[in-house]
Structure 1
């Protein structure tokens, strides 16, 4: 049993390592809907945030309290009222909001203070700092509706938040702000999180929400046939937002999307909508390729391109497991450094997920595609096919009439994509001299039209 565990745990942990390095020292603003706390998810979320912070990420946590305030209102026989997707905060609602915020702050701080042995919080020291970091102004009267004590963010104490983060603390913000005269305003969690993320130029804004993300067809519920769109470039997100009706409820497609678009346009590079219903969704979104929800980015993070010397480490890390199990012939670092300009790579968010090299044999007007590798994290997503097409384009541009591969295990994958098996004697003379007859590799050729 332990051997099986080792075989699964070690490759998984190694695959996560690039993301641990990438996110160290970065700042994340995590906006947790009050519904997540009402659903009993606080303990698990606190554990995951503590783990993320322990890996060097600076965290600002903004909590919502929509269901908790509504519960307080019901207890007082008072009705919750909304307009334009914002709560109308009268005197009773303001009292309820203050009570709910105080209770939730207590529960959140308690969750981060636990350190029982044999739990994810064992040995964790999470200092939580909260305070009057937000200056607010009233929403006022909009379309004849007086929002009373509902407010908007006027100013964020950027220096104060950064000092707390540099001290190593997690900053906790409630959706409250105060005017210069000391008047309290009820804000929305979404606006506080967006304003703070933009003001401190956070590296990520993550909405932990009731929805799974943005479906590829937003007019229909997400399903197997209508999966979540894992990455939305800002331009596409803006177009989608313009086509949607103004949101009234958090479950409306535009509700969280509008804040992601605003933050992205304001300089926050990566903005996420993920479901709190999935255990560990924060970890899955931050440390796994493609994540679990929708990410709005200023530009497409995946690029298919020719390799540079900066990619050598990533290529070595990618192909090493496949060399170890015999799928690929072993290549030395020196060999890859010498031939790096022959490689094509797929990079996503700074991590190499696929590669292949094209070795030309001009005298035979052909070339060998070698070391075609796709990370186990992104297999079955078409990356191998995209790399093959790019290699074919490079080969055509170099005047080649065909490309060939040598393989012992993946013959059927290539045959499905137009390759035909030939005798090793077909190989160009220079390549035939290096052919390992003991390995008995199959030789497959594809003619380039």
Structure 2
């Protein structure tokens, strides 16, 4: 039903995510280019909204473009090696100054008030400090990196205490040594180590690109670290893509449930990724959030919701909750982020060495992605393991889909005797058979 207020439908659909994200820990990296371009104000509003919804936030910020601009204006040309500049005393003074300015800017914008915004009057406590311990990069290929460093460890227990107290934690790209030195760090590395040390639920990397694309230019919604690794190897060393992919893959392999690659150019990216089912960027996860698996009793509600529209249109024979419960072991489902978006069943007739491919269904929003073919392939594998010699299907609407997947028309005599006796002649379903030899 249409509504005068489109946001109401969005709000209703986002409510499961509002509930799911409450109390979760997110580490969010905002690259320096986002702040330099003037996107900081909008991002601060989004961060404040997440905080009010109960998300525990750790925000890491980059300062590379701001430091480069300051060095250019001062006529300073830094020495570069292995994708990092050598942070001598002069450069480090600029790094510390700009990191402090950026931190103060964030703290000011995240302070109570936010006048002229929907979040006016919301009170937040923002905390930073010596929360990242570092060590020097040292001498490499004969070059002393001086104050350029790498993360040694993140003080996870201290950060946890701050988050438990309701604070938003801000981490600059700086680290501190045990003898009081300060080191210039890569912001993506800080974010990765923070997410790993905290066992964060999400690591969100806001950079130039809105995600990863295949050779045809199609946005890749989800990849495992192994699938993303070739893209990391192909990326230019020290580029943002290389830094973000390296952080994403490392985080996924060390227990961070999901890492999201988003573009700060897209004003809706952060909230769109977090509060819609499909998101807007690329997610790196060790375990796929869309999976094909055996159905369970807990899936009954999702199956009924998936099948009801198709039954109403006459495409499927109505199935009661009791029947689904009785036959649940025959079903496969495709689950996407907690929602059943596809299913199929294999009912066996051992006396005829045949199986019925039944109840093939894919949610309207997820058709066109070869999920029906995926279900069929798994049903065929299951049928072969059971020693069946053929599959059959009854359909009134999708005959050509079955033709495209190797089925051929047959008459009623081709059905197993038990299924022949229960054939609904009034429905006049087409009978299709596919040998499995």
Give yes or no for TM over 0.5.
yes
| 1:341 maps to which of 326, 329, 333 | 329
Q: Which residue of structure 2 aligns with residue 249 of structure 1?
A: 239
Q: Aligned with 1:226: secondary structure?
A: coil
Q: Which residue of structure 1 aligns with residue 181 of structure 2?
A: 183
Q: Which residue of structure 2 aligns with residue 157 of structure 1?
A: 155
Contact 2:294 2:332 in 1 (8 A): yes
2 CA distance for matches of 1:401 and 1:31? 54
2 CA distance for matches of 1:115 and 1:204? 26
Distance 1:154 1:327, change over 3 A: same
| 1:230 maps to which of 204, 218, 221 | 221
Q: Which runs of 5+ in 1 are unaligned?
A: 218-224
Distance 1:166 1:71, change over 3 A: same
2 CA distance for matches of 1:56 and 1:325? 42
Distance 1:55 1:360, change over 3 A: farther
2 CA distance for matches of 1:36 and 1:185? 23
2 CA distance for matches of 1:332 and 1:16? 29
Give 1:140 shift. 2.8
RMSD: 3.5
Q: Which residue of structure 2 aligns with residue 220 of structure 1?
A: none
Distance 1:187 1:298, change over 3 A: same
Q: Which residue of structure 1 aligns with residue 342 of structure 2?
A: 354
Contact 1:31 1:193 in 2 (8 A): yes
1 CA distance for matches of 2:357 and 2:5? 35
2 CA distance for matches of 1:341 and 1:246? 49
Distance 1:27 1:147, change over 3 A: same
Give 1:105 shift. 2.3
Moved more, 46-55 or 65-74: 46-55
Distance 1:123 1:393, change over 3 A: farther
1 CA distance for matches of 2:151 and 2:192? 10
Q: Which residue of structure 2 aligns with residue 211 of structure 1?
A: 209
1:294 partnered with 2:282: yes
Q: Aligned with 2:69: secondary structure?
A: helix
Q: Aligned with 1:256: secondary structure?
A: helix
1 CA distance for matches of 2:394 and 2:47? 46
Q: Which residue of structure 2 aligns with residue 82 of structure 1?
A: 80
2 CA distance for matches of 1:9 and 1:414? 40
1:448 partnered with 2:431: no
1 CA distance for matches of 2:5 and 2:309? 17
Contact 1:28 1:59 in 2 (8 A): yes
TM-score, length of structure 2 as denominator length: 0.84
1 CA distance for matches of 2:43 and 2:32? 12
Aligned length: 434
Q: Which residue of structure 2 aligns with residue 332 of structure 1?
A: 320
Q: Which residue of structure 1 aligns with residue 362 of structure 2?
A: 374
Distance 1:99 1:313, change over 3 A: farther
